[in-house]
Amino acid sequence: MERPPRRSLIFLSILFVIANCNPASASPISTPFDIFPRNATSSVPAHPDCTTQFSNDYYGFGVRLGVYFSWLGSYFANLLLPEEIPGQLDTNCIFLLALIASLFNGTHLNEILQIDALIIMQLSSGFLFSCLSIWGYRTSYYQKEGPVAIKRFGGLGTHCRLILATAISIYGTWFWWKGLDDGLNKSENPECQEIFTWFFTYLPVRGGIDKFYIVITVACSLYYCTMLITALSTVLYKLPQIGWKGRLSFQTGFSVFELEFLYKVFRIFNLFWIIFCALMVEMTLNKNNMWQTLAQNSANIQYPSQLLPLLVGGLSFIRVLWLIYVEGRDRVKEEKDSNQARFNRRETMTKPSLQNAYGLGLDFFKILSPAKQPRDAVIFEAEPSSPEPLKPWHHRYLVALLPWLSAFEAWKLTDTHDAVVDPERSAPTGTSESFPQDLKLEPSSEIR
């Protein structure tokens, strides 16, 4: 089935970056596009309004909705719609780039306040630990294709995501170490100077939670910087050998079983983190009296700095849901037609399923045709097990965390990931099954 082009979403994403790089163009004091009167019916809050000058442009209600929709769209695409994963990764990169550009620009111009930086970093953490995957371990590619799915990654997109993750991690370390003291401005209102964050409960940012975040951000900075240095060293070393038009070949140290286990863990953790980050942002805004950014005072959503991200994230999410529905509908129809043909040939029938072969686990049991079932019909299928590792476990895991090492001969694990039948899980006597020795990838579906 031909998919609709993604150019419109990418174009809207670029407009979103431009709108956020200059927040003053849609600041709270601007008047263009004033369709609805601001705060005409909003009740006077009991606490002081601590909304900052650029908070609506940085993380207004429309911006946050667009980010949340982007998270959910990427989550469902990673699980159910592999052909949409490249587009969702690009959309996430553009969102994260806009947030980081606003954060760095505001810090450089000494315009951003401490609460602004805190909210932007909370939104950025939602990308980093839920849907933004550097080597694709969060996606369903490895669930279906095994270790060879790493060939889809390692290009320009992988390194762009790595640079963005490194930048926000380093900034986070500076923010919790120095920014909360005198690195960033505080509110001029004394009642708004004490900042709280939400971590299952309300906590002051200098009440001990900052030590926890310093450890997390330092660890992330060290890891991402190590990846960046390794990537840069590999490219510089291999560039004279492969040339500018060449492409490096990478491997992962994870086995088939380990990749399947990681996929199941990420499938649960990613959804938890999306919900947690959304709650963390909204709770933090409420506790710090950022009234003009809340949903009940969302008249500012009409401005381009909020409308563009809302359209990008919302349309991207709707597109993913629609394609999932279309794919499931077509699959049920195909299986019904296939079952009818099998019945006519007196072969095994299967119940229609929404399983898309990417590990969702919604398939039903096979229904064997009684009496008419051929004697030599294959009922049980042998499952391929992971190949025996050719290197020690610490070697494999180091390559899994830093796949650039596999570009060097001394770090290569194996040339092919051949399927080996496990004797304990093999098919019953009298049945036979053949397995492909190499899994082939479609060049058109590679991720940069």
Mean pLDDT of 259-278: 95
Separation CA 167–CA 248 (nearest Å)? 25
Q: What is the pLDDT of residues 127-151, one digit of tens each?
A: 999 988 999 999 999 988 999 999 9
Kindly report which listed range (27-31, 300-304, 442-446) carries the lowest average pLDDT score: 27-31
Q: Residue 441 above 80 pLDDT?
A: no
Buried/exposed 42-62: b ≥16 CB within 10 Å, e otherwise: eeeeeeeebbbbbbbbbbbbb
Mean pLDDT of 384-393: 55
* Structural tokens at position 223: 């890891």
* Structural tokens at position 258: 């380990």
Kindly report which listed range (20-34, 37-51, 302-316) carries the lowest average pLDDT score: 20-34
In contact, 37 and 65? CB cutoff 8 Å: no
Q: Which helix (H) or strand (E) holds 254?
A: none
Q: Residue 426 above 80 pLDDT?
A: no
* Structural tokens at position 334: 């195909």
φ, ψ for residue 24, nearest 5 deg: -65, -20
Higher pLDDT, 414 or 302: 302
Mean pLDDT of 104-128: 93
Q: Residue 263 above 80 pLDDT?
A: yes
Mean pLDDT of 418-425: 37
Q: What is the pLDDT of residue 331?
A: 84
Q: Residue 46 above 90 pLDDT?
A: no
Residue 73, judged by CB atoms within 10 A of its CB (0-12, 13-18, 19+), counts as: buried
Cα angle 124, 6, 315; round to 5: 60
Q: Residue 328 above 90 pLDDT?
A: no
Q: What is the pLDDT of residue 402?
A: 94
Higher pLDDT, 94 or 332: 94
Residue 350: strand pairing partners:
366
Looking at mean pLDDT, say which of 28-42, 74-88, 240-254, 341-355 comes out highest. Answer: 74-88
Q: Residue 327 above 60 pLDDT?
A: yes
The three-state (H, E, C) secondary structure of 325-345, written as one string: HHHHHHHHHHHHHHHHHHHHC
Higher pLDDT, 198 or 381: 198
Q: What is the pLDDT of residue 166?
A: 96
In contact, 78 and 133? CB cutoff 8 Å: yes
Q: What is the pLDDT of residue 377?
A: 43
Q: Residue 113 above 50 pLDDT?
A: yes
Q: What is the pLDDT of residue 37?
A: 38
Q: What is the DSSP string of 195-226?
A: -EEESSSEEETTTTHHHHHHHHHHHHHHHHHH
Separation CA 153–CA 147 (nearest Å)? 12
In contact, 95 and 68? CB cutoff 8 Å: no
Separation CA 403–CA 334 (nearest Å)? 39
Q: Residue 403 above 90 pLDDT?
A: yes
Mean pLDDT of 433-441: 41
User: Percent of the chain, pLDDT > 70?
Assistant: 69
Q: Residue 321 above 80 pLDDT?
A: yes
Q: What is the pLDDT of residue 342?
A: 66
Nearest to 55 by CA among 311, 285, 313: 285
Q: What is the pLDDT of residue 249?
A: 87
Looking at mean pLDDT, say which of 11-15, 55-59, 169-173 comes out highest. Answer: 169-173
Strands 366-367 and 420-421: unpaired
In contact, 296 and 100? CB cutoff 8 Å: no
Higher pLDDT, 441 or 340: 340
Separation CA 219–CA 226 (nearest Å)? 11
Q: Residue 229 above 70 pLDDT?
A: yes
Q: What is the DSSP string of 20-42?
A: HH-GGGG-TT--TT--S-TTSSP
Q: What is the pLDDT of residue 446?
A: 56
State the residue for tokens 């407009």. Answer: 15
Higher pLDDT, 366 or 212: 212
In the DSSP assignment, the letter for residue 10 is H
Q: Residue 400 above 60 pLDDT?
A: yes
Q: What is the pLDDT of residue 378?
A: 43
In contact, 19 and 54? CB cutoff 8 Å: no
Separation CA 40–CA 50 (nearest Å)? 19
Residue 113: strand pairing partners:
185
Buried/exposed 231-268: b ≥16 CB within 10 Å, e otherwise: beebeeeeeeeeeeeeebebbbbbbbebbbebbeebbe
* Structural tokens at position 166: 């490194």
Strands 384-385 and 420-421: antiparallel
Q: What is the pLDDT of residue 48?
A: 82
Half-sphere exposure of 134 (CA within 13 A, CB side): 21
User: Percent of the chain, pLDDT > 90?
Assistant: 46
Helix axes 114-128, 85-108, angle to 10 degrees: 160
Nearest to 79 by CA among 333, 313, 271: 271
Separation CA 347–CA 340 (nearest Å)? 10
Average model confidence (pLDDT) for the chain? 77
Instruction: Please give the radius of gyration of the chain, using alpha carbons only, rounded to the nearest integer.
Output: 26
In the DSSP assignment, the letter for residue 185 is B
Q: What is the pLDDT of residue 369?
A: 38
State the residue for tokens 């019904």. Answer: 336
Mean pLDDT of 293-319: 85
Listed in sequence order, the residues at least 6 apart from 415 whose beta carbon sits closer than 8 Å to its beta carbon are none
For the chain, how many helices (H) and strands (E)? 11, 6
Q: What is the pLDDT of residue 427?
A: 38
